[in-house]
Structure 1
Amino acid sequence: MASNSSLVGSDLMQQQIKAIIVQMLVMIFLCINLLLIITFYTKECFYTTPRYILFAVTLLSDSLLLFMSDVLLMFTYFYLTMQVWLCIIISFPVLLYLVVTPVTLTAMTLERYVAIFMPLRHGELCSTRNTMYCILIIHGLSSVPCIVVLCTLFASASLSFYNQYRLCSVEIFILHRWQDHVRSAVHQFYFLIMCIIIIFSYVKIMKVARAAAGEDKKSTWKGLRTVLLHGFQLLLCLIQLWCPFIEAAVLQINFRIFLDVRYFNYIMFSLAPRCLSPLIYGLRDEAFFHALKNYVSFGRYKRNI
């Protein structure tokens, strides 16, 4: 009995340590994102430029996703259950913004492609109004996987199911094997399309970048590093689309392993790509970095320049 109680105490301590680590990371990233969002609204050139508008969309979607997914993660770790209908309401924005970020990053890739290969039409195609339409299209496309999951649930679940108390996770929405196949097909289709667009665009962009740089190796390497960081972030975001399938398979084997796998996936494929957005599009962008530095220093940085 003593050994069993010590094991339970050890597991509880590990969960508490993991929970504290997650809360610290989430708070840090949310504070950074909030600072960047405030900086975005300090200059008119930011909220009238398509590239920065899409960057702000990723910051907002990442912040909401981090907060909501962190709440669900804590509910899972401390075995807090809720009624299924409430879980559906909470899970909808999580499922939506899980896809919004990679789709937005793909749109940013296309915007760079248009800027390089169609410079004369860039102002027309990437106007502020068209960017607003693009954001609506991004959210429309991103909602399709979520709607598919929920529609398959509504078509197969009984009314009594929505009043049951369960641990809130996407896995409880999958009642039959065919639902898992449908969800997998939709995510694989999105995965394939985004990969094709990103690879095609960046291969073409890098050819132009290398040719334009000429003997300027430093400029070429800087462009290459940006592309590699952007590609790595998108890869992590796209891998995240596969995490529910891995977690569902592990859940059938062992619940404790499921918790560990979910924790690892959350750190690697939810937190990690979200912390890359401020680095790639905030700190590495000269205009945005100067505006951020000026805001943090309460205007003293601008006067010094």
Structure 2
Amino acid sequence: MSGTAQTNITSSSRVAFRERVMMGTVTSVPCCIFLFINVTMLFTLRSKAVFCESSRYILLFNLLLADTIQMTLGQLMYILSVCNERLTYPVCGLLVMLTIFTNEVSPLTLVVMSLERYVAVCHPMRHTSIVTSTNTALAIMVVWAISSLNILVHIVLLLDFPFEDLDTLVMKDFCGVLVMFLGSMSEDYDRAFVSFVFVSAAAVITSTYIGVMVAARSASADKASARKARNTLLLHLAQLGLSLLSTIHNSVVGSIARVVTRPVLIIILNTLYVLVIMLPRCLSSLIYGLRDKTIRPVLFYHLCCGLKLKPRVSP
């Protein structure tokens, strides 16, 4: 009986190991592909002077940088959970704070990018004087400063937790954003801040879209430019919606876990992780890399490792 029990334990351990390897592979392969595309896009936006000097491409670089960092941190924490690794509270807190930090940069950058498109269409004569490299750098600094203040508030709320009463600093659960909300105040604050950011961003992007629509009806407007800006703003709204989905991912998973079996839950978890967490972080590269005629040849050139399609953009 002892030998049979030992055999069953060994067999179940092998099954659990195969499940972990399969889950890690299913998510790691798409993540590596998305990271390769994003890193190539970041390199592309620094390969030509036209990209480094244009405010539009500088803002795109900032958006892609935040999304790439977010994707990397998310995959790291996912792999740690698959491997059953338990972190200490300080290490997990650092990873979670970096995740929250970069997560708020994306919607705020989309707001700035939408305002830039609005100025380009509705005030074309003043675009060069308003949207300068200095003003763009200042806007990016404001975006990162707002995210930094959010992190400071989270740290203050975390310090209020009595860590000295714990027997050990090693966490009992896997590292994640919700796990580090050690008090109700932290969770309430995060929910309020996220709601404020996304509602404000949606209001600004919608307002700029309406402004572009009104400007497109005027006789003096550049119809092609207005139509392209309108489509870009719609894409910004879609990106914002996908980013919002990623913030409610854990709540959705928690609800699903109560009504499905474990094998089904694992499939749903992996599918949602790829579609809701990783894919939106790569959409900016795909959208701008395929739509923008200036970026497209250079991006394809670098994606093909210089083997095909020599770029025709002047240095």
**TM-score of the superposition, structure 1-length normalised?**
0.84
Aligned amino acid, residue 286 of structure 2: L
- Residues 1:280 and 2:287 are matched in the alignment: yes
- Residues 1:290 and 2:285 are matched in the alignment: no
Which secondary structure state, in structure 2, belongs to the residue aligned with residue 163 of structure 1?
A: coil
Q: Paired residue for 2:310?
A: 301
The CA distance in 2 between the partners of 1:253 and 1:173, in whole Å, is 25
Q: Tell me: higher relative CO, structure 1 or 2? Use CA pairs within 8 A at least 6 residues apart.
A: 2
Q: Aligned match of 1:192 in 194, 199, 204? A: 199
Distance 1:245-1:148 versus aligned 2 partners, 3 A rule:
farther
Which secondary structure state, in structure 2, belongs to the residue aligned with residue 156 of structure 1?
A: coil
- Residues 1:17 and 2:17 are matched in the alignment: no
Aligned amino acid, residue 21 of structure 1: V
Q: CA RMSD in A?
A: 3.5
- Give yes or no for contact 2:41–2:289 (8 Å, CA) kept in 1: yes
Q: Which has the higher helix share?
A: 1
Distance 1:195-1:203 versus aligned 2 partners, 3 A rule:
same
Aligned amino acid, residue 59 of structure 2: L
Deviation at 1:26, TM superposition (A): 1.2
Deviation at 1:41, TM superposition (A): 1.6
Q: Give matches, 1:123-272, under 5 Å.
A: 123-161=128-166, 163-166=169-172, 167-209=174-216, 226-246=232-252, 263-272=270-279
Distance 1:48-1:300 versus aligned 2 partners, 3 A rule:
same
Which secondary structure state, in structure 2, belongs to the residue aligned with residue 208 of structure 1?
A: helix
Deviation readout 1:37-74 (Å, 9 max, x if unpaired): 22112211111111100111122112111111101011
Distance 1:6-1:261 versus aligned 2 partners, 3 A rule:
same
Distance 1:9-1:184 versus aligned 2 partners, 3 A rule:
same
Larger mean Cα displacement after TM superposition, 54-63 or 4-13: 4-13
Q: Paired residue for 1:71?
A: 76
- Computing the radius of gyration over CA atoms, which structure comes out larger, 1 or 2? 2
- Give yes or no for contact 1:81–1:165 (8 Å, CA) kept in 2: yes
Which secondary structure state, in structure 2, belongs to the residue aligned with residue 286 of structure 1?
A: coil
Aligned amino acid, residue 35 of structure 1: T
The CA distance in 2 between the partners of 1:68 and 1:275, in whole Å, is 14
The CA distance in 2 between the partners of 1:144 and 1:263, in whole Å, is 32
- Give yes or no for contact 1:148–1:183 (8 Å, CA) kept in 2: no
Distance 1:212-1:249 versus aligned 2 partners, 3 A rule:
farther
Q: Aligned match of 2:38 in 33, 37, 42? A: 33
Aligned amino acid, residue 57 of structure 1: N
Aligned amino acid, residue 147 of structure 1: L
Aligned amino acid, residue 126 of structure 1: V
- Give yes or no for contact 2:96–2:180 (8 Å, CA) kept in 1: no
Q: Which runs of 5+ in 2 are unaligned?
A: none
The CA distance in 2 between the partners of 1:212 and 1:246, in whole Å, is 48
Deviation readout 1:234-256 (Å, 9 max, x if unpaired): 21012222334445677899996
Number of aligned residue pairs: 303
- Give yes or no for contact 1:30–1:63 (8 Å, CA) kept in 2: yes
Larger mean Cα displacement after TM superposition, 66-75 or 148-157: 148-157
Which secondary structure state, in structure 2, belongs to the residue aligned with residue 301 of structure 1?
A: coil
**TM-score of the superposition, structure 2-length normalised?**
0.81
Deviation at 1:202, TM superposition (A): 1.6
Aligned amino acid, residue 180 of structure 2: F
The CA distance in 2 between the partners of 1:142 and 1:212, in whole Å, is 41
The CA distance in 2 between the partners of 1:25 and 1:282, in whole Å, is 18
Report the identity percentage. Answer: 25
- Give yes or no for contact 1:39–1:291 (8 Å, CA) kept in 2: yes
